[in-house]
Amino acid sequence: MKFCLSDVRTTSALASSVDCSTAHNRIRYRAYNGERPFDIEVVSHLSETDSTSGKAVHTPDEIIKQRDFIIAKLRGASDRLFSHWQLRDYEQSVIDPTAAGADFQLIPLRPPKQVFIAGYPKDRDLVISEGFLNLTEKQRRGYFAANYDVYSQRYLQSHGLGIETRWGMGVQNHMSGGPVVDSSGYLVGVVVNGNDQTAGVLSIENVLSTFFSRSGKAEDYPAVLLSPTQTPLYLRY
């Protein structure tokens, strides 16, 4: 989004519109579903300082703390529907958007969560990685699948996991932004970085708490309906 948001770097915008197909005179953003093209429209973003601190490269924990992400949509004919991952309800006020840059201490995720990461590595078709998220932090801004033994054998056995369970999972270059889905098919977050043995995951709670509200005006339509609770979420103003 570096070029699409080049003219609005100093501002944050929620429930607004930046048309990436016309925002920059040299670059046009398009997305393809099969052979069908779609324009891309950014509907919520933070200022560059809040998102990235002006840095071009970040570690996974920096992305999680600084909220280096946006909300965008594909724009096309209204009769075109897309399949999507289901969202569970999430605990309100766990994440404090006003303290996004605060340091955090990683702690074991209890219990560990089996997940699947889908993405498109450079010059390859769809790849799905499988593994366990085993680290998080108090506000659940993110999760990590890291090659560390953080559980006792008794704890693993009490949750039906073998002591030979392997920790850490591989994420290849260009898989960033891919969905991270649990074993029930619910979206846990999006992968933001990684290597052969570590994956950094931005939690869906982080995205929802940053850009969405549980209350809206009477005339508003819900931007997201959470499943299975059917809780409506509205883009923040």
Tens digit of pLDDT for each residue in 16-59? 889 988 877 777 788 887 788 888 999 999 998 888 887 877 88
CATH number of the CATH domain containing 138: 2.40.10.10
d(CA 187, CA 117): 10
Tens digit of pLDDT for each residue in 164-212? 899 988 888 778 889 999 999 999 999 988 777 889 999 999 999 999 9
Closest residue by Cα to residue 203 from 144, 117, 130, 128: 144
Residues 107 and 202 in one domain: yes
87 burial (CB, 10 Å; 0-12 / 13-18 / 19+) is buried
Residues 110 and 203 in one domain: yes
Q: Which helix (H) or strand (E) holds 188?
A: strand 187-194
Q: How many residues does the chain have?
A: 237
CB 187 within 8 A of CB 208: no
Give the per-residue pLDDT at 102. 83
Residues 101 and 203 in one domain: yes
Residue 216 lies in a domain: no
CB 178 within 8 A of CB 118: yes
Mean pLDDT of 77-86: 74
Residue 184 lies in a domain: yes
Domain that holds residue 19: 6-75
d(CA 170, CA 177): 15
CA end-to-end span of the chain, whole Å? Answer: 21
Residues 42 and 139 in one domain: no
Residues 71 and 109 in one domain: no
Residues 69 and 101 in one domain: no
Residues 122 and 35 in one domain: no
With a cut of 80, say whether residue 83 has pLDDT above it.
no
How many domains does the chain divide into? Answer: 2
Tens digit of pLDDT for each residue in 127-172? 889 999 999 998 899 999 999 999 999 999 999 999 889 998 888 8
